[in-house]
Structure 1
């Protein structure tokens, strides 16, 4: 029996609302916008996943605050 673990970071916008998540698992870092039906994709590093998430936020959005859960 093998166990696959993952780590989740929640991205908070400037006003404290959740804007998305980044989940780490065996495949990499998967970024998802809050409320989306599908992820943006899986990326090789956390920094790339954060950038992808930020790039899909409305123009002029501040960089989210990522909190590990």
Structure 2
């Protein structure tokens, strides 16, 4: 993903302690960042897959986050 990629929509992922990261719709599909990431992760073909990838990147046993569109 380049620095000039246009973000179309954003969903923030929340867990019990607050925000965990975010999913972004970009021209190529969907990507995500966890808090503390310096750059976006891989691009995925669908929102569902990107949300699943974000969940998989959390600590083992983490509950499914609540995603809120912003």
Q: How many residues align?
A: 65
Moved over 6 A (4+): none
Q: Greater Rg, structure 1 or structure 2?
A: 1
Which residues in structure 2 correspond to 1:44-55 (within 5 Å)?
Answer: 44-55=45-56
TM-score, normalised via structure 2 length: 0.84
Unaligned runs of 5+ in 2: 1-5
The CA distance in 2 between the partners of 1:63 and 1:28, in whole Å, is: 21
Q: TM-score, normalised on structure 1?
A: 0.85
The alignment's C-alpha RMSD in Å is: 1.3
